[in-house]
């Protein structure tokens, strides 16, 4: 993705490998600062996934691949490293997919850096295809709603939900994007809006609770990403996705999920079996160091929700746009 810096426009990825280190954008510092951090121990890479220095399913996958690369280069026990990596977060399928991919490569004697770089590049290529397929759906004058951040930051580069938006914009289409803020970690406001801003794409941040208001007023399509898609098309994505999908059906708004095949988990039969991560109360009750909730009131903080397949118009993948009952076709 192209970002504007004090020294001009720069092309950056969310995560990459350089001089024996895994380097990534510290996404917790955006939009205030564009800071890069690097790690040379796989355990620290796992921690960077856990504490959300990097986040978004495909970026988590690529980061895990680079973490596993460090494990292989340091001569660590690869199965032990895989266990540590997979324990970082429970919901995004890409974490497990990428870790297993690297275990297989390393055990087959493949070059760890080339393998991890190949994995990251394949994500970017898949996202580009998702953009090409999805852009066809965006027409001039459209109002498009998205949630959380499924942009370049979340996918190494390009994005999943933001890929069709980038491509349609590059094709000269004129449209408007609603980016819902995504309490409590604010990925919509701090990351999606930052990406749209860098590109110059017309958009506004909206409070999560106003989605229904705008959907009723007239949204033409909703595109979100996914963390895990079950074999029957039920899927988990950032908390707040489910109600948008239900409202979309109520008001006849097409609801699309953009994701690479690495996010599909054919071993999970339905969405009921997807593990939903619960994060700390403090993410809800605190803003920085300041408590904004009454002392003594507990908070609940599910990071994701599950949306049944019946609410999905289509899955935009690198293999085309699929209806929920067609996804078995792309089983790898």
DSSP string, 59-74: HHHHHHHHHHHHHHHT
Q: Is 154:63 a contact under the CB 8 Å cutoff?
A: no
Smallest gap from Cβ 148 to ligand MRU, in A, equals: 4
Catalytic amino acids?
227
Q: Is 39:64 a contact under the CB 8 Å cutoff?
A: no
Smallest gap from Cβ 19 to ligand MRU, in A, equals: 27
Both tokens assigned to 136: 């066809």
Task: Return the CA Rg of the chain.
Answer: 19
Based on CB atoms, which residue is closest to ligand MRU, 209 or 302? 302
Strands in 15-134 per DSSP E: 15-18, 21-25, 36-39
- What phi and psi values does residue 222 have, to the nearest 5 degrees? -120, 135
Choice from 238, 242, 256, 312 touching ligand MRU (CB under 6 A): 238
Scan residues 133-172 and list those touching ligand MRU (CB under 6 A).
Answer: 148, 150, 154-155, 160
Based on CB atoms, which residue is closest to ligand MRU, 98 or 303? 303
Report the SS3 class of residue 229: strand
Stretch that binds ligand MRU, among 54-62, 64-72, 117-125, 137-145 (CB under 6 A): 54-62
Based on CB atoms, which residue is closest to ligand MRU, 58 or 308? 58
Choice from 67, 131, 225, 308 touching ligand MRU (CB under 6 A): 225
Q: Is 199 in the site for ligand MRU (CB under 6 A)?
A: no
Q: Is 63 in the site for ligand MRU (CB under 6 A)?
A: no
Size of the site for ligand MRU (CB under 6 A): 17
Q: Is 48:26 a contact under the CB 8 Å cutoff?
A: no
Choice from 1, 58, 72, 103 touching ligand MRU (CB under 6 A): 58
The whole-angstrom separation of Cα 152 and Cα 193 is 12
**Which residues, at least 6 apart from 144, have a Cβ–Cβ distance to it below 8 Å?**
138, 165, 175, 176, 177, 178, 219, 220, 221, 222, 223
Based on CB atoms, which residue is closest to ligand MRU, 237 or 285? 237
Q: Which H helix or E strand runs over 214?
A: helix 211-218
Based on CB atoms, which residue is closest to ligand MRU, 247 or 305? 305
Q: Is 64 in the site for ligand MRU (CB under 6 A)?
A: no
Kindly report whether the peptide bond that precedes residue 31 is cis, defined as omega within 30 degrees of 0: yes
DSSP state of 77: -
Q: Is 56 in the site for ligand MRU (CB under 6 A)?
A: yes
Q: Is 93 in the site for ligand MRU (CB under 6 A)?
A: no
Q: Is 222 in the site for ligand MRU (CB under 6 A)?
A: no
- Residue whose beta carbon is closest to ligand MRU: 225
**Which residues, at least 6 apart from 257, have a Cβ–Cβ distance to it below 8 Å?**
223, 224, 225, 226, 229, 235, 237, 312, 314, 315, 316
Based on CB atoms, which residue is closest to ligand MRU, 48 or 187? 187
Based on CB atoms, which residue is closest to ligand MRU, 196 or 226? 226
Q: Is 57 in the site for ligand MRU (CB under 6 A)?
A: yes
Smallest gap from Cβ 306 to ligand MRU, in A, equals: 12
HEC letters along 171-183: CCCCCEEEEECCC
Both tokens assigned to 252: 């006849």
Choice from 187, 262, 268, 317 touching ligand MRU (CB under 6 A): 187
Q: Is 253 in the site for ligand MRU (CB under 6 A)?
A: no
**Which residues, at least 6 apart from 280, have a Cβ–Cβ distance to it below 8 Å?**
301
Scan residues 281-320 and list those touching ligand MRU (CB under 6 A).
Answer: 303
**Interface positions with ligand MRU (CB under 6 A):** 55-58, 92, 148, 150, 154-155, 160, 187, 225-227, 237-238, 303
């Amino acid at each position: 993705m192209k970002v504007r810096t004090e020294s001009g426009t720069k092309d950056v990825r969310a995560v990459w490998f350089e001089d024996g280190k895994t380097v990534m954008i510290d996404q917790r510092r955006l939009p205030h600062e564009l800071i890069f951090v690097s790690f040379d121990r796989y355990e620290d890479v796992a921690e960077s996934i856990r504490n959300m220095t990097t986040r978004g399913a495909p970026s988590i996958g690529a980061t895990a691949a680079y973490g596993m690369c460090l494990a292989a280069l340091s001569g660590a026990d690869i199965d032990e490293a895989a266990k540590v990596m997979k324990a970082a977060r429970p919901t995004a399928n890409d974490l497990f997919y990428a870790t297993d991919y690297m275990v297989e490569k390393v055990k087959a004697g493949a070059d760890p850096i080339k393998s991890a770089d190949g994995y990251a590049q394949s994500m970017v290529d898949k996202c580009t295809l998702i953009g090409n397929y999805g852009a066809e759906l965006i027409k001039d004058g459209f109002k498009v709603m998205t949630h959380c951040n499924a942009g370049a930051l979340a996918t190494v580069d390009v994005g999943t939900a933001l890929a069709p938006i980038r491509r349609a914009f590059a094709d000269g289409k004129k449209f408007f994007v609603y980016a819902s803020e995504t309490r409590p970690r604010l990925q919509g406001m701090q990351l999606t809006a930052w990406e749209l801003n860098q590109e110059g794409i017309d958009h506004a941040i909206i409070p999560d609770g106003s989605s229904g208001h705008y959907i009723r007023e007239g949204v033409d399509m909703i595109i979100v990403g996914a963390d895990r898609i079950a074999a029957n098309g039920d899927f988990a994505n950032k908390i707040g996705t489910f109600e948008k999908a239900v409202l979309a059906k109520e008001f006849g708004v097409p609801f699309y999920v953009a994701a690479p095949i690495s996010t599909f988990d054919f071993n999970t039969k339905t969405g009921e079996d997807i593990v939903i991560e619960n994060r700390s109360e403090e993410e809800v009750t605190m803003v920085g160091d300041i408590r904004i909730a009454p002392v003594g009131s507990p908070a609940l903080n599910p990071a994701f929700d599950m949306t049944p397949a019946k609410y999905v118009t289509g899955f935009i993948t690198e293999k085309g746009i699929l209806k929920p009952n067609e996804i078995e076709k792309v089983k790898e």
